[in-house]
């Protein structure tokens, strides 16, 4: 039976980044992923915000042109609120390429990545796998998505508030229009969230997301309806890729770690409750997770695990959680149109710009990670 210090379940961005950091700290790490190809089953649009691009080393050749313009549309699609930044705020990545790059860097650091292997449960230190022999692991990192089985098996918190999203992604012809991010707030097609088109001159992503209980026609049907007349959409010039999956929006979970393992990425609820952006939070929390894991395995001190509690992080999201509840409470197109009267005001535009272009989407946890790495992190 193969023995490792850490078994990471899930080869998404959070899992691979955590694995690379842990392997770089001298731990033996294996990553298991049920997909046979990292290009299959992609569940993210791949929008990286400026703060992530500034703080993390992402491969330039896998990033699309910068996007500075955001247009917010009411249900009528008339008179959108147009916001422009003086900096590139968003870039859409080739996520298949990003995942493959993350896999290579994790393997270069010393991690072992196994594709086509499904996590089947854990008993003590023995992890059962489908597609490979069992593994003995000192610690398990659950990077297995919004409906994490690792979370349930370890007795950790699980996501309760979920959106479901779907989108089309395809290449487009280059044109004269500047790259733009179009967002439509319409409870008829995206109850509790929005429909979006982001076109950067190379590719277009057209999607909708909302609370599944309110999407009576089904997310795929609503996506087709939205895509038929979505603002800013350009005609495909190549294959159309379909994506979709659940999105946790209840904020970072409280109980994220125990002596047998911890959670990262969507499994940890590391997604902005308001914007539903998860790429920046997953990278930042992975750094803290790696530091806490290494500190705990090195010292055996369970107090180190307290530094990975979601309670302190949730406190930073109180305002966004409140806005999430208000956002989810827009019951009709009439209410959404009325909300745009506020959004068009000077204060409303300033608030929208602060949310869309600001630096406060997710707290920086690097100081906490450094303290955890030294083994001295306490309540």
> pLDDT, tens digit, for every residue of 309-337?
888 777 666 666 777 777 777 778 998 99
Contacts 24+ apart (CB under 8 A), 188-191: 188/75, 188/333, 189/222, 189/225, 189/226, 190/222, 190/226, 191/215, 191/328
Q: How far apart are CA 194 and CA 325, in angstroms?
A: 14
pLDDT of residue 378: 45
**CA distances (Å), origin 366, targets 263, 274, 289, 301:** 17, 23, 11, 20
CB–CB of 160/148 below 8 Å? no
- State residue 377's pLDDT score: 47
Percent of the chain whose predicted confidence (pLDDT) is above 70: 93
pLDDT at residue 53 tops 80: yes
* pLDDT for res 275: 82
Mean pLDDT for the stretch of residues 73-93:
95
Q: Looking at the chain, how many residues does it have? A: 379
pLDDT-derived band at 117 (thresholds 50, 70, 90) equals very high
pLDDT exceeds 70 at position 360 = no
User: What span, in angstroms and rounded, lies between the C-alpha atoms of 353 and 356?
Assistant: 5
Mean pLDDT over 243-265 rounds to 95
- DSSP string spanning 285-329? HHHHHHHHHHHHHHH--GGGGGGG-SHHHHHTTHHHHHHHHHHHT
Residue 177: per-residue pLDDT: 83
Least confident of 255-264, 300-309, 357-366: 357-366
Q: Has residue 236 got a pLDDT over 80?
A: yes
pTM of the model: 0.92
36 alpha carbon, distance to own chain's centre: 21
Nearest CA-CA partner of 71 in 374, 343, 359, 285: 343
What is the arithmetic mean of pLDDT over 122-145? 96
- Position 279 scores a pLDDT of 93
How many C-beta atoms surround the C-beta of residue 235 within 10 A?
Answer: 8
CA separation for the pair 103, 283 (Å, rounded): 14
**Residue 247 scores a pLDDT above 70:** yes
What's the mean pLDDT when you consider all of the chain? 91
Q: Tens digits of per-residue pLDDT, 138-150?
A: 999 999 999 999 9
Which of 302, 301, 219 lies closest to 43 in space, CA to CA? 219
Mean pLDDT across the stretch 280-286? 92
Is a pLDDT exceeding 70 seen at residue 80?
A: yes
């Amino acid at each position: 039976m193969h023995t490792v210090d850490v078994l990471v379940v899930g080869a998404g961005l959070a899992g691979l980044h955590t694995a690379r950091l842990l392997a770089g700290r001298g731990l033996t790490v294996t990553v298991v992923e049920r997909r046979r190809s990292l290009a299959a089953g992609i569940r993210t649009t791949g929008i990286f915000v400026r703060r992530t691009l500034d703080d993390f080393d992402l491969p330039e050749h896998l990033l699309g042109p910068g996007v500075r313009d955001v247009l917010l549309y009411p249900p009528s699609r008339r008179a959108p609120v147009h916001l422009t930044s003086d900096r590139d705020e968003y870039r859409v990545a080739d996520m298949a390429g990003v995942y493959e790059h993350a896999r290579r860097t994790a393997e270069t650091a010393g991690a072992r990545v196994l594709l086509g292997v499904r996590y089947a449960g854990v008993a003590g230190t023995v992890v059962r796998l489908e597609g490979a022999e069992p593994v003995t692991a000192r610690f398990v990192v659950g990077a297995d998505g919004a409906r994490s089985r690792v979370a349930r098996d370890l007795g950790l918190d699980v996501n309760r508030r979920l959106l479901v999203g779907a989108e089309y992604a395809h290449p487009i012809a280059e044109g004269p229009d500047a790259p733009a991010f179009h967002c439509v707030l319409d409870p008829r097609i995206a109850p509790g969230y929005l429909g979006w088109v982001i076109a950067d001159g190379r590719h277009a992503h057209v999607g909708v997301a909302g609370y599944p209980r309110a999407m009576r026609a089904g997310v795929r049907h609503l996506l087709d309806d939205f895509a038929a007349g979505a603002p800013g959409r350009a005609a495909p010039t190549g294959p159309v890729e379909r994506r979709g999956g659940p999105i946790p929006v209840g904020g970072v979970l409280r109980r994220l770690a125990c002596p047998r393992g911890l959670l990262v990425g969507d499994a940890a609820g590391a997604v902005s409750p308001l914007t539903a952006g998860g790429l920046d939070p997953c990278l930042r929390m992975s750094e803290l997770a790696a530091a806490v894991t290494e500190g705990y395995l090195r010292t055996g001190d369970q107090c180190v695990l307290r530094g990975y509690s979601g309670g302190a992080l949730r406190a930073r999201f109180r305002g966004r959680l409140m806005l999430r509840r208000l956002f989810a409470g827009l019951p009709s197109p009439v209410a959404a149109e009325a909300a745009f009267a506020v959004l068009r005001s000077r204060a409303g535009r300033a608030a929208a710009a602060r949310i869309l272009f600001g630096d406060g989407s997710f707290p920086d946890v690097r100081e906490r990670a450094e303290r955890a790495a030294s083994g001295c992190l306490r309540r």
